[in-house]
Amino acid sequence: MRVSLRIFMRGLLCALAGFQVGAALADDWLPVTPDDLHMTSVPQAPGVAAVILYRQVDRDDSNDREDVYMRIKILSDEGRSYADVEIPYRDYHESVRDIEARTIRPDGSIVPFTGTVYEKPMVRSRAGALLAKTFQLPAAEPGCIVEYRYRHQYAYGWTYNSQWILSGNLFTREVKFSLVPNRTLSLRWSWPNGLPPGTAKPHLEKDRVLLEAHDVPAFVTEDHMPPENELKSRVDFIYTRGRIETAPAAFWRTYGINLWKGTQDFTDQRTAMERAVSQIVQPGDSDEEKLRKIYARMQRVRNLSYERPRTAQETEREDARKIYNVATVWNLDAGHEAEINWLFLALARAAGVAADPVQISQRSEYIFDPRLMNPGQLDTSVVLVSLGGKDVYLDPGTPFTPFGMQPWDRTDARGLRLNADGGVWVVTPLPDASASRTERRAVLRLAAGALEGKLTVRYTGLEASWRRLQERNEDDTGRRQFLEKQIESMVPVGIDIKLTNNPDWSASDAPLVAEFDFRVPGWATSAGHRELLPIGLFGGAERHTFEHATRIQPLYFEFPRQYLDDVAIELPAGWHVDSVPPPHTTDLKVLLYKSATQNAQQSLRLTRELTITFYEATAQSYEPVQAFFEKVRTGDEEQAVIAPAASAAR
């Protein structure tokens, strides 16, 4: 296995984790029984649209591959959607190949798949693009069976964070897993969320780890929930070098010492760093001024972790420029995310500021538990500095991150503050809701039932940084469409909108400000001689939040945030405000909703505030949260009444 500096920087120096695969594709399809052909329902899952009859995952971590076999029974028209197959994969360290598929009709006749397999972009992140191989199985009707098989091929050296995910979005009648371990490393496995009822523990048989399960319930997906795989029934495989530690404290001490040594080796370039820092700061600068200047300079370093996918030739040229230490990063003015953070660490120390490396877990991917002893989940870094007697966490290695903040998934995140003794556990701070705001200010006029005018939206803090990060590689057209679609999702009816300014996409600390020409056709509705105007113009995002009466999964809002609306509406000449709804305030301490409508002669002013000061809660807390959002919807749907002057005399 190749152990690169980049893998080390991901927190995998001591325990490299692996995501590769095993076992060759079967030569023949599995036989189909008459009972499966004639099946119309599943007693264990009544009313379902489809069911997984059989699933098999064979993984070989010595040969970097994984073979998957899937057989699905379609039970209703709704279940036909499962004939539209998506196979996700990461672009730069895995591929999907050897796809075969077919449809089996209820009479046993077979329709092989001979169509085209397409490639679909899904998500882009610092870990590369998440793509999907997509195809549509032919002749898939209720009563049919669709089945397909394929191979995941992984790049050499990607043996980490290996998992078997047992729970899927369909009831699974039978599932089998096998794993051929990487023989150069030690392996242990665990099942932190338990196994499906009646499932025997994974066991080693000859050279394979095996597991078989039956009647696995479908996993329920709900809006605003933590990372799915962290909630599902699963088996985690963790590779380590050397002997396997069984006590978490001893495991993390050994891991922390090794990671500390590697970090010190990478950053120990005192002379070069003193020369570099002299080009950034002035002798009379305070510690905060020094850190802000160094931070701003680091954000201008070419960040290889967040660039567009590179061609093979570009990758080859990059590989020729090896990064050995922070001096190399400085000289090249380029590096990956962690390398830029460690350069900031070295420069801060050279400037006389106390600073420590911290390896943390991203909340967007994991619910970190040190008892599981999985260092692959400590997959990113921040720098902890002492400023004015306070601990401040900084992350210049993530573009567009404001000074003193971290990306949302690294807030309130567990991390290991490294030192020569192995380190101590820390938790990064969670910013206040007021630090991440969406402010919508509109100056509109009402004519023929339509609202028309100017809208300015101002995003601050994490609301600005995640948008800049997501759109970093898009062109002007893509960014314009992104901003316009965001406003469309906020208004509960169809709108006409056009971006009119050029927002600053390059800043870290400045708000992201977007200005629009804005029109809402048919916002006012006639009621005799009067017209009714709903006051919740931007309540579209909450229109369907937590509508269900019950909840299974925990609640998850990512980070505290605040929405502030201020809408001025000029009425048509000769019209006046007849009545306005009373102001509303619903305050649950962690959730706040306020709305007010002010009558100013021939105009209305609508103000609204929605503040979410927490980001996670158990399913048992759902009832008051659900009731709160019901009050939000009720408040947004209330209406002001306007009338022409002549109607007052009637």
Q: Domain ranges in the chain?
A: 17-240, 248-427, 434-649
Do residues 495 and 519 lie in contact, with contact meaning Cβ atoms separated by under 8 Å? Answer: yes
Model confidence at 360: pLDDT above 50: yes
CA–CA separation, 283 and 261 (whole Å): 31
Buried b (16+ CB within 10 A) or exposed e, 91-107: eebbebeeeebbbbeee
User: According to the model, what pLDDT value does residue 121 have?
Assistant: 80
Model confidence at 26: pLDDT above 90: no
Q: Report which secondary-structure segment, H or E, holds 628.
A: helix 622-637
The alpha carbon of residue 467 and the mean position of all alpha carbons in its chain are separated, in whole angstroms, by 12
Phi first, then psi, for residue 195 (nearest 5°) are: -110, 160
User: According to the model, what pLDDT value does residue 131 have?
Assistant: 84
Sheet holding 203-205, edge to edge: 110-112, 94-104, 145-154, 65-74, 50-60, 172-180, 208-216, 203-205
Q: How many helices (H) and strands (E) does the chain have?
A: 12, 35
**Secondary structure class of 494 (helix, strand, coil):** coil
Contacts of 151 (CB under 8 A, 6+ apart): 21, 25, 65, 66, 67, 68, 96, 97, 98
CATH 3.10.620.30 is the classification of domain 248-427 = yes
Summarize pLDDT for 617-626 with one digit per residue, the tens.
999 999 999 9
Q: Is 248-427's fold the same as 434-649's?
A: no
User: According to the model, what pLDDT value does residue 376 have?
Assistant: 86
Summarize pLDDT for 500-524 with one digit per residue, the tens.
999 999 999 999 999 999 999 999 9
Sheet holding 525-527, edge to edge: 525-527, 530-534, 639-644, 575-579
The alpha carbon of residue 384 and the mean position of all alpha carbons in its chain are separated, in whole angstroms, by 24
pLDDT band at 62 (very low <50, low <70, confident <90, very high): confident
User: According to the model, what pLDDT value does residue 126 have?
Assistant: 46
User: According to the model, what pLDDT value does residue 22 have?
Assistant: 31
Question: Beta partners for 302?
Answer: 334
Contacts of 1 (CB under 8 A, 6+ apart): 16, 156, 157, 159, 182, 184, 185
Mean pLDDT for the stretch of residues 424-438 = 96
Model confidence at 648: pLDDT above 60: no
User: According to the model, what pLDDT value does residue 9 have?
Assistant: 34
Phi first, then psi, for residue 583 (nearest 5°) are: -65, 150
Contacts of 55 (CB under 8 A, 6+ apart): 68, 69, 70, 71, 168, 172, 174, 175, 176
Do residues 512 and 464 lie in contact, with contact meaning Cβ atoms separated by under 8 Å? Answer: yes
Closest to 413 (Cα-Cα) out of 427, 401, 425: 427
CA–CA separation, 254 and 443 (whole Å): 61
Q: Of 102 and 156, which is predicted with more confidence? A: 102
Tell me the HSE value of 220 on the side-chain side, using a 13 A CA sphere: 9
CATH number (2.102.10.10, 2.60.40.3140, 1.10.10.10, 3.100.10.20) of 17-240 reads: 2.60.40.3140
Do residues 171 and 216 lie in contact, with contact meaning Cβ atoms separated by under 8 Å? Answer: yes
**Secondary structure class of 59 (helix, strand, coil):** strand
How far apart, in Å, do the first and last CA atoms of the chain sit? 87
Do residues 100 and 113 lie in contact, with contact meaning Cβ atoms separated by under 8 Å? Answer: yes
Beta carbons within 10 angstroms of residue 498's beta carbon: 11
DSSP for residue 18: B
CA–CA separation, 4 and 6 (whole Å): 5
User: According to the model, what pLDDT value does residue 319 have?
Assistant: 52
User: According to the model, what pLDDT value does residue 316 have?
Assistant: 56
Closest to 612 (Cα-Cα) out of 413, 510, 463: 463
Q: Let me know how long the chain is.
A: 650
Contacts of 492 (CB under 8 A, 6+ apart): 536, 539, 540, 543, 636
Do residues 392 and 404 lie in contact, with contact meaning Cβ atoms separated by under 8 Å? Answer: yes
CA–CA separation, 396 and 364 (whole Å): 19
Pick from 159-173, 316-330, 428-442, 621-635: least confident = 316-330
User: In terms of DSSP H, where are the helices of 268-325?
Assistant: 270-278, 287-298, 312-320
The C-alpha angle with vertex 461 and arms to 460 and 464, in degrees rounded to 5, equals 60
List of E strands, 144-291: 145-154, 162-165, 172-180, 186-190, 203-205, 208-216, 234-240
Q: Of 308 and 40, which is predicted with more confidence? A: 40
CA–CA separation, 536 and 524 (whole Å): 12
Burial of 34 (0-12, 13-18, 19+ CB in 10 A): exposed
**Secondary structure class of 499 (helix, strand, coil):** strand
User: Crossing angle for the helix pair 248-267 and 337-350, nearest 10 degrees?
Assistant: 70
User: According to the model, what pLDDT value does residue 183 have?
Assistant: 85
CA–CA separation, 597 and 281 (whole Å): 51
Model confidence at 23: pLDDT above 50: no
**Secondary structure class of 266 (helix, strand, coil):** helix
Q: Considering the chain, what percentage of its residues have pLDDT values greater than 90?
A: 77
Mean pLDDT for the stretch of residues 446-469 = 96
CA–CA separation, 292 and 333 (whole Å): 18
Sign of the four-CA dihedral 52, 44, 217, 617:
positive
The alpha carbon of residue 303 and the mean position of all alpha carbons in its chain are separated, in whole angstroms, by 20
Mean pLDDT for the stretch of residues 371-394 = 93
User: According to the model, what pLDDT value does residue 313 have?
Assistant: 57
Amino acid of residue 102: R
pLDDT band at 203 (very low <50, low <70, confident <90, very high): very high
pLDDT band at 63 (very low <50, low <70, confident <90, very high): confident
User: According to the model, what pLDDT value does residue 160 have?
Assistant: 63
Sheet holding 603-612, edge to edge: 496-499, 512-520, 450-459, 437-447, 561-570, 603-612, 591-599, 584-587
User: According to the model, what pLDDT value does residue 157 have?
Assistant: 67
Model confidence at 17: pLDDT above 60: no
Closest to 187 (Cα-Cα) out of 167, 161, 158: 161
User: According to the model, what pLDDT value does residue 600 have?
Assistant: 79
Mean pLDDT for the stretch of residues 455-478 = 95
User: According to the model, what pLDDT value does residue 92 have?
Assistant: 66
Amino acid of residue 644: P
| CATH code for the part of the protein at 434-649 | 2.60.120.1130
User: Strand 639-644 and strand 591-599: pairing?
Assistant: unpaired
The alpha carbon of residue 283 and the mean position of all alpha carbons in its chain are separated, in whole angstroms, by 42
